Amino acid sequence: MSASLQDNRLTALHERFAKEFGGAPQIVVRAPGRVNLIGEHTDYNDGLVFPVAIDRDIIIAARATDDNFIEIYSEDYQQKDRFSIADIIKTEEKPWSNYVRGTAAVLLKHGYKFGGFQAVSTGNVPQGAGLSSSAAYEVAVCYLISTLSNLSLTKKQTALFAQEAENNFVGVNCGIMDQFISAFGEPDSGLLIDCRTLDYKSIPLNLKGRELALVIVHSGVQRGLVDSKYNERRSQCAEGVQLLAKHLKREVKSLREIEELELDECAMALPEIIFRRCRHVITENARVSATVEAFETGDLARVGKLLEASHQSLRQDFEVSCEPVDILVDLTANYPGVTGARMTGGGFGGCIVALMEKAAVPGYTASVPVEYLKQTGLTATVYDCQAAAGASTV
């Protein structure tokens, strides 16, 4: 985020705090959204992912109180919620507050004790775009409570508790990627996460030195019915694991334990559709490792090919893309100066991610959305992003 934008948002946040609660906040925290470079639908299969925290975030200004109530005003919804820490239930009227309620409830469940606070939140992560605005909110709240009440949560705990809030309170069955990168992100770096062990390694992207831009483009397709299709993909992968274990006559905990060659040998034992779902996950893990290696050796042409292969696998084998997104990826990948492009996130609409020469961004922004509109009737929105730090105090 540029300094001036940050300053403007901070000033507005302080003003709102004074208006709602009087006086000044005690602390301001932030947590970023994310874009996944590669490693899609692998996190809940114990696989590898390579996301980047972006310079779009949720910020929360807060002050501890000496009672047992959490009072939070959402600038984005222009609504205030107030609830007792002693009795946290889900709200239908203010769904945005379930990220706050859920995170607080999870911390209580794990035995943490904390007092009430007054807070104002605001965000600039596009919502419903697949850039993890909800994970950012959960991580920001978790980090806030930990800091205000000296709980000393580690980044790993923050990510896991935030994910638990999403899974068990909000009710979305996501993997660990989004919350993990929002807690652990580092400037100008991607994070290789092994979702089986939760080991991770920060990989410098050196985009500035390479004169490259990280560009996210929203396809204009709102992600409808995402949850049910996401859950269907999860159960298809689980079915693959069961059938493979039966066929191989050994315990198989996840697709991470299966090599591509072994999968090929089991092809006859799996329904065709399950075979393709498994093939995506297994080949995608290999592409993540290869992409990290290519970044480390500076082989950007290879990075581009791997992004392209990931997209094709998501389109054909995992079937989570859609026609407009395919068109946007094609137009982008063929634009001069583009290293590579693919759909990103859960799929069924939302965003694509691309790496391109910095100098190509203005021309790209001026021409590709126009051609895309002509071909699809949809409006694409381009976000030129930076890789940012994970949750922090501002």
230: tokens are: 């996401």
CB of 234 to ligand GLA, least distance (A): 8
At residue 387, the 3 state secondary structure works out as strand
- Bridge partner residues of 74 (DSSP): 79, 121
CA dist 278 and 261 (Å) reads 12
- Bridge partner residues of 34 (DSSP): 53
Residue from the set 9, 41, 56, 277 that interacts with ligand GLA by CB under 6 A: 41
35: tokens are: 């874009």
CB of 313 to ligand GLA, least distance (A): 12
Q: Pick between residue 17 and residue 44 the one whose CB is nearest to ligand GLA.
A: 44
Q: Phi/psi at 121 (nearest 5 deg)? A: -120, 150
- Judged by CB under 6 A, the stretch of 37-45, 149-157, 217-225, 264-272 that binds ligand GLA is 37-45
Interaction with ligand GLA in 266-325: which residues (CB under 6 A)? Answer: none
What is the full DSSP assignment across 115-155?
--EEEEEEE-SPTTSSS-HHHHHHHHHHHHHHHHTT----H
Residue from the set 17, 21, 44, 275 that interacts with ligand GLA by CB under 6 A: 44
Strands (E), the chain: 27-38, 48-64, 69-74, 79-84, 117-123, 189-194, 199-204, 212-218, 338-343, 351-357, 381-385, 392-393
Q: Pick between residue 13 and residue 140 the one whose CB is nearest to ligand GLA.
A: 140
CB of 357 to ligand GLA, least distance (A): 27
Q: H helices within 220-270, ranges in order?
A: 226-248, 260-265
164 binds ligand GLA (CB under 6 A): no
Site string for ligand GLA, 17-36 (x = CB under 6 A): -------------------x
175: tokens are: 């993997």
Pairing of strands 381-385, 79-84: unpaired
Count the residues of the shown chain that bind ligand GLA, applying the rule CB under 6 A: 11
CA dist 124 and 133 (Å) reads 8
Q: Pick between residue 40 and residue 186 the one whose CB is nearest to ligand GLA.
A: 40
Q: Pick between residue 175 and residue 349 the one whose CB is nearest to ligand GLA.
A: 175
Residue from the set 57, 81, 138, 178 that interacts with ligand GLA by CB under 6 A: 178
Q: Pick between residue 43 and residue 55 the one whose CB is nearest to ligand GLA.
A: 43
CB of 182 to ligand GLA, least distance (A): 11
CB 34 within 8 A of CB 131: yes
CB 97 within 8 A of CB 74: yes
CB 129 within 8 A of CB 351: yes
Residue from the set 175, 185, 220, 304 that interacts with ligand GLA by CB under 6 A: 175
369 binds ligand GLA (CB under 6 A): no
CB of 89 to ligand GLA, least distance (A): 24
CB of 36 to ligand GLA, least distance (A): 6
273 CA to centre of own chain: 27
CB of 344 to ligand GLA, least distance (A): 8
Pairing of strands 189-194, 199-204: antiparallel
174 binds ligand GLA (CB under 6 A): yes
Interaction with ligand GLA in 329-348: which residues (CB under 6 A)? Answer: 345-346
Q: Pick between residue 44 and residue 114 the one whose CB is nearest to ligand GLA.
A: 44
46 binds ligand GLA (CB under 6 A): no
At residue 217, the 3 state secondary structure works out as strand
Task: Point out the residues that are catalytic.
Answer: 178
Residue from the set 31, 40, 215, 241 that interacts with ligand GLA by CB under 6 A: 40
Q: Pick between residue 40 and residue 57 the one whose CB is nearest to ligand GLA.
A: 40
Angle at 38 between CA 37 and CA 44, to 5 degrees: 120
CB of 366 to ligand GLA, least distance (A): 30
Q: Pick between residue 16 and residue 277 the one whose CB is nearest to ligand GLA.
A: 277
CB proximity list for 140: less than 8 A, separation 6 or greater:
29, 30, 31, 57, 58, 59, 60, 121, 391
Give me the residues that bind ligand GLA (CB under 6 A), please. 36, 40-41, 43-44, 174-175, 177-178, 345-346
